[in-house]
Amino acid sequence: MDPELDISRILLDLFLMYALATLGSEVFQRLKQPAVVGELLAGILIAGLALTIRSPVYDVVAEIGLIVLLFTVGLETRFSSILQVGRTATLVAVIGVIVPFLLGYGVMAAAGQSSLQAFLLGSALTATSVGITARVLSDLGVARAPETCVILGAAVIDDIIALILLSVVSGAGRGSLYVTDVAILAAAAIAFTVFVALVGTRATRRYGSLLEKLHLHDAPFVTALLICLGLSAAASLLHLSALIGAFLAGMAFAETQDRYALEERIQPIYAFLVPFFFVVMGTKVDLGTLLKPDILSLALVITLLAMVGKVVGCGLAAMRMGRFRASIVGVGMMPRGEMGIVVALVGLRLGLIGDDIYGTIIFMALVTTLVTPPLLKLLYHRAKPTPSAPTPALEGQPACER
Amino acid sequence: MDPELDISRILLDLFLMYALATLGSEVFQRLKQPAVVGELLAGILIAGLALTIRSPVYDVVAEIGLIVLLFTVGLETRFSSILQVGRTATLVAVIGVIVPFLLGYGVMAAAGQSSLQAFLLGSALTATSVGITARVLSDLGVARAPETCVILGAAVIDDIIALILLSVVSGAGRGSLYVTDVAILAAAAIAFTVFVALVGTRATRRYGSLLEKLHLHDAPFVTALLICLGLSAAASLLHLSALIGAFLAGMAFAETQDRYALEERIQPIYAFLVPFFFVVMGTKVDLGTLLKPDILSLALVITLLAMVGKVVGCGLAAMRMGRFRASIVGVGMMPRGEMGIVVALVGLRLGLIGDDIYGTIIFMALVTTLVTPPLLKLLYHRAKPTPSAPTPALEGQPACER
């Protein structure tokens, strides 16, 4: 039997990955740091010590984990909430995508890379990983403050924009990038998104109760998983990212999720499969390459641009909320995580980028994620002597639904 | 990219498998038949119409599904209940394993097959798939009757014996079978089982509360999954079946499972992954081979022996409960499912058996599973005009815990 497919070895490796991911997650949570950092570092350690074999099976397990992750994010995203989120959040999202994208694109183009590579790196800098910020703000007792609402709303729009950019990268991946291709792929991605968001949301709202008539055990949940797989496959076959399908499937069920406790039921699958995604991503980092002086300086420059891009872009867009809240919004939008790593992975898989750029993007995701919580705490600490007192919501502003 | 590992295609195939499994399950449940039959038939249909590609990735997904299945069965099995289950159940289990094993072995040896092949087929006939019987008896309102207790207790012991036999098959798989090898492997399997059952159960009982001190989200569940993967890998590396590890991990946590709702939390993973196991098993049936007259007659003979073996073996062992209850026990122990299929799969993977014997075993599992529910209903219907009235428990016999 092919050693890459030897089941004893695969089981052992899966155990090692899950064990180290769990350990990393535990250690980082004890240090009051995001669990995802521990999982990525576990993967880097595994690759560094060559603890596991390289098998394509792990990529598939990671991909399924990623689909579950995006589906869960989708379940937390109500289409109606996005529509309500208001001008500020949209502005923060859009400007907060454009500025880092242009910075990333510019630096790569200036370094003489191809337009596709520059596009890819720019895209990797766009999507905010809002989980970490949300957790920190909620720990600080400001979960329903207006700046939190803006950050959460903007991050969702961010995710959608990043998924569309990713679809462009995936679709254009096999050739060089022309403006017309970008336009066509972006149009396809937007059409798919709008179609599924509108039709899917209405369908689950109108026909959701039919699921209760099925004899199938746990029918609503099983159907939701089925639609998640189906839309992921459909998106993938349309040369869009499979993830946009998973995300939209989640969003379509977000309106009915309370009734069937879908979010609660997806949690065990999340706990089982999602860590594999981050560990496998970590194993793809080649520390030897990353630690070379020229690559490391590139990584530092990109990381700095990633931070400046969001603070300036989002901060300016939020300036009408006042300087303090605008700075919170800017810093809160800094962490990059899943989506940036996904873009990097797609680039690596298509051969668009090498170990150097891949390592750079992971480095950027790790640093922006690690730096944000202390910075946010510092900002709140400076502004108010009692950071634990909840900030009152702005008049006329609805409380966050999320 | 290797077409067997093309992610779009894999997602499409996983969607197709899950969709048809769900459909098959729904149809068979509406017909008041076991869902597993629908899932197996979905797989046979997929293979017949060549709807999916063949990729080793699906075998790994199926294997993970199977590990989840055995872990769940383990979670439902309290070691203390097995110890209490009494002489009758043990006798039913042991004689109910010996008779079908000897019948299967004998017919294959008489047909001139090697001793290893005969051993494999004999083993495939041993393990009762008790889920179906339990469901039927509970629908008939006799879930706590003494015959039900005996069936459930015996089925658990059956599972353990079958796992040990499977370990012998896996371990001996690469050569021919000597009595000393069998003895050594059986001893290793028993030692592993006893060790994990004793130490594992005590460890979770004594140190289980430490899990609550972890910072990890959902720590008890994550730890249980981790130990499941770890024991599966350990068993596999010891040349035992990975499944015995998964089963024992579940049993070790069975004592603490109420506190952490582990059974409830494993359900979503079960709903997501286990159907893939049965579909993939179905795809391995070559209908063309199975429908050849000589193979079909072999399959019919084996199926008949499988049924007679359990009815006679288990029925005789239970005779001291009276003829009516003994016949219920005999018929109730007839269905073969997961474990028989697993033995067949291991045999196929190691090249010990071909498509003909594999198809025969799947056929036997399908038929014994389909035939049992109506037979049980018939037996109860004949014996009592009011089958819905619960049977009183025998004096001195504790009510079933399961």
Q: B103-123 pLDDT, tens per residue?
A: 999 999 998 888 888 888 999
Which residues in A lie closer than 8 A to residue B237 (C-beta atoms)? Answer: 8, 12
Nearest to B18 among A26, A29, A226 (CB): A226
pLDDT, greater one: A349 or B82:
A349
Instruction: Look at residue B387 and tell me whether its pLDDT is greater than 60.
Output: no
Question: Residue B199, exposed/middle/buried by CB under 10 A (0-12, 13-18, 19+)?
Answer: exposed
Amino acid at B372: T
3-state DSSP call for residue B394? coil
The pLDDT value recorded for residue A392 is 45
Decide if B306 contacts B106 (C-beta within 8 A).
Answer: no
Which pLDDT does position B92 carry in this prediction?
93
Q: From the CA of A15, how many Å to the nearest CA of chain B?
A: 5
Cβ atoms of residues A71 and A228 within 8 Å: yes
Give how far the C-alpha of residue B87 lies from the chain's centroid of Cα atoms, to the nearest Å.
23
Which of B309, B212, B164, B173 has the alpha carbon at shortest distance from A7? B173
Sequence-separated (6 or more) residues with CB below 8 Å from residue B156: B77, B81, B82, B85, B130
Evaluate whether A278 touches A44 at the Cβ level (below 8 Å).
Answer: no
Q: What is the pLDDT of residue A397?
A: 41
Of chain B residues 8-27, which have a CB less than 8 A from chain A?
8, 10-12, 14-15, 18-19, 22, 25-26
Q: Which of A18, A221, A223 sits opposite B226 (nearest CB)?
A: A18
Q: Are A236 and B234 spatial neighbours (Cβ–Cβ below 8 Å)?
A: no
Could you give phi then psi for residue B39, rounded to 5 degrees? -70, -40
Kindly give, in sequence order, each residue whose CB lies less than 8 Å from that of residue A86, ignoring residues fewer than 6 positions away: A150, A153
- The pLDDT value given to residue A172: 67
CB atoms within 10 A of CB A275: 26
* Closest among B345, B289, B283 to B52, alpha carbons compared: B283
CA–CA distance, B181 with B167 (Å, rounded to integer): 11
Rounded distance between C-alpha atoms, residue B220 and residue B253, angstroms: 10
The winner for highest mean pLDDT among A130-139, B60-69, B141-150, B204-213 is B60-69
Q: Which of A260-269, A327-336, B194-203, B289-298 bottoms out in mean pLDDT, i.e. has the lowest? A: B194-203
Nearest to B5 among A56, A61, A221 (CB): A56
Cβ–Cβ below 8 Å for B265 and A268: yes
Q: Do A10 and B218 touch (CB under 8 A)?
A: no
Q: Does the pLDDT at position B360 exceed 70?
A: yes
CA distance B17 to chain A (A): 10
Q: Which token pair is A307? A: 């931070």
Residue A168 confidence (pLDDT): 78
Residue of B216, B243, B276 for testing the chain A interface, max A β-carbons within 10 Å: B216
Annotate A200-267 with DSSP letters as a single string: IHHHHHHHGGGGGG--STTHHHHHHHHHHHHHHHHHHHTTS-HHHHHHHHHHHHHTTHHHHTHHHHHH
Calpha distance A367→A364 (Å, rounded): 5
Contact residues, B window 53-92, toward A, CB-based 8 Å cutoff: 56-57, 59-61, 63-64, 67
Quick one: pLDDT band at residue B85, thresholds 50, 70, 90?
low
What stretches of B173-261 show up as alpha helix (H) in DSSP?
Answer: 179-195, 201-207, 219-237, 242-254, 257-260
> Would you state the pLDDT for residue B176?
55
Q: CA A96, CA B343: separation in Å to the nearest integer? A: 57
DSSP secondary structure, A283-326, as one string: HT--HHHHTSHHHHHHHHHHHHHHHHHHHHHHHHHTGGG-HHHH
Q: Cα A257 vs. chain centroid, distance in angstroms?
A: 21
Question: What pLDDT score was predicted for residue A1?
Answer: 44
Chain A, 201 to 260: residues with Cβ < 8 Å from chain B are 214-219, 221-223, 225-226, 229-230, 232-233, 236-237, 242
Dihedral-angle region of residue B386 (phi above 0 means left; psi in -120 to 50 means alpha; beta otherwise): beta
User: Which pLDDT value is given to residue B43?
Assistant: 92
How high is the mean pLDDT of chain B? 83
More confident residue, B132 or B157: B157
**Length of chain A in terms of residues written:** 402
Nearest to B314 by CA among B111, B107, B144, B157: B157
Instruction: Say whether the ipTM exceeds 0.95.
Output: no
* Alpha-carbon span A229 to B218, nearest angstrom: 25
CB-based contact B215 A30, cutoff 8 Å: yes
Q: Measure the CA–CA gap between B381 and B370, rounded to whole angstroms.
A: 18
**pLDDT in the model for residue A202:** 82
CA-to-CA distance for B402 and B392, rounded, in angstroms?
17
Whether A175 and chain B come into contact, CB under 8 Å, resolves to: no
Instruction: Quote the longest CA-to-CA distance of chain A.
Output: 67
Structure token pair of residue B229: 């993967």
Does residue B71 register a pLDDT over 70?
yes
Name the residue in chain B with its Cα closest to that of A271. B222
Q: How far is B222 from chain A (nearest CA, A)?
A: 7
Q: What is the pLDDT of residue B19?
A: 97
Q: Which residues of chain A have pLDDT under 70?
A: 1-5, 81-85, 130-132, 143, 172-179, 181, 257-259, 384-402
Q: Is A294 exposed, middle or buried (0-12, 13-18, 19+ CB in 10 A)?
A: exposed
Which residue type is seen at B333?
A: M
Q: Are A363 and A124 in contact (CB under 8 A)?
A: no
Over residues B1-9, the mean pLDDT reads 69
Q: Which amino acid is at B386?
A: T
Q: What is the pLDDT of residue A122?
A: 92
The shortest C-alpha distance from B224 to chain A (Å) reads: 11
CA torsion sign for A324, A329, A330, A332 is positive
**Cα(A101)–Cα(A125) distance, integer angstroms:** 6
> What's the CA gap between A357 and A368, in Å, rounded?
16
Output the CA torsion B338→B340→B341→B347 (10° steps).
Answer: 140
- Distance between CA B150 and CA A255 in Å, rounded? 47
| Residue, of B143 and A70, whose pLDDT is higher | A70
Q: How far is B275 from chain A (nearest CA, A)?
A: 11
Would you say A170 and A241 are in contact if contact means Cβ atoms under 8 Å apart? yes
- 8 Å CB contact of B215 and A14: no
Q: Which domains does chain B have, with CATH numbers?
A: 54-383 (1.20.1530.20)
Task: Give the predicted TM-score (pTM) of the model.
Answer: 0.83
CA dist A181 and A160 (Å) reads 19
Tokens 């919580």, residue?
Answer: A373
Q: Which two tokens stand for residue B68?
A: 């989840």
